[in-house]
Chains A and B, each alone.
Chain A
Amino acid sequence: MVLHTMSQTVVLGVIGSDAHVVGITILEQAFSAAGFDVINLGVQTSQEEFAEAAVAHDAEAVLVSSLYGHAEQDCRGFHGVLEDAGVDAHTYIGGNLAVGQDDFEQTRATFEELGFDRVFDSETDPEEAIAALRQDLQIAPTETERATISS
């Protein structure tokens, strides 16, 4: 079985006027270590900036982070903008997606309806997201990881 193993590009950023940067700093490092090319747009990234970067780098995935509680407002129309720009990438969103003490299943449904392929809560370990993306992109684990798994 020959799987797709070449390096793939993901666009990462925090949407809206949210400035919580620590999470994406950790995600950038984890995705890079896992062999992805990460384009980190940083915090306070607009929908258009995500779309432009995805086009410019021919990204396989767009990873949106939001912590401050305005994710829903900030993401309205996002998938339209991506489509208009001709982006056909997997879209993930993660972080603290609702204001207050929400029920996560409801939140997940809200964001899936908005068009996201996967929705992660803030307890998500980066490894989970990496595993999910590998699955979605049908990428095999790297040599070293296989070694670790089989050892």
Chain B
Amino acid sequence: MKKSFFTLEHARQLTEDTYEVVLSGDTSAITAPGQFVNIELPGKFLRRPISICNWTQDALMLLVKVVGDGTRELVRCVPGTEVDVLSGLGNGFDPALAGRHPILAGGGIGIAPLYGLARRMLEAGLPFTVALGFRTGKDAFYLEEFAALGCRLLIATEDGSLGTRGFVTDCIRNVPECDYVLACGPLPMLRAVHGLPQLTGGQFSFEARMGCGFGACMGCTVPTVNGYKRVCKDGPILFREEIVW
């Protein structure tokens, strides 16, 4: 964990409610894809947790969906705005444990951490497929960025306006050799993916309302097979075996 100021470089609108936000600053506390940052916003008491979509030594990329005042304010910041950020929070994905045919499964804004994960897995020479789900084609974003990675990319939309008609789970089912998942998305999606019989293991990224984001307040704890865990510190990534719904 590191507390430092980042400078907002730009906020670029991707869909009606989703933005790419790039911040420059010291990213040295970030150790794994799937970690998150906790951002202070003027006028808000609690920080806002946002997954790290990607990072370099001196820049941080986030994908932000506007759902309330805090996210709205964040994407409205003008370039040059200084933002107080706690960076390098949470455990992150561990691609080394991802088996032989992993699939990176994301739903909606949940695709954010998968991009950084995919880049790290490419760099490490690990094989993988990416499956992204959206409500409709209009809600889809970051397709070109994922496509540019050169990995296998599957897309599902609920109305069939783009890719497979249906859910991410339908994509995964279409890749029968896939036996491991690295997943992030809304709870119903995680649950559906978790239940796929073809999987022998997986890592799932969870959300929770957070007080601190660094393990001190017990605000975010959830039951697991191995006892209560703090989503912010022991997670946000939980392993398939330990998840209790």
A binds B: no
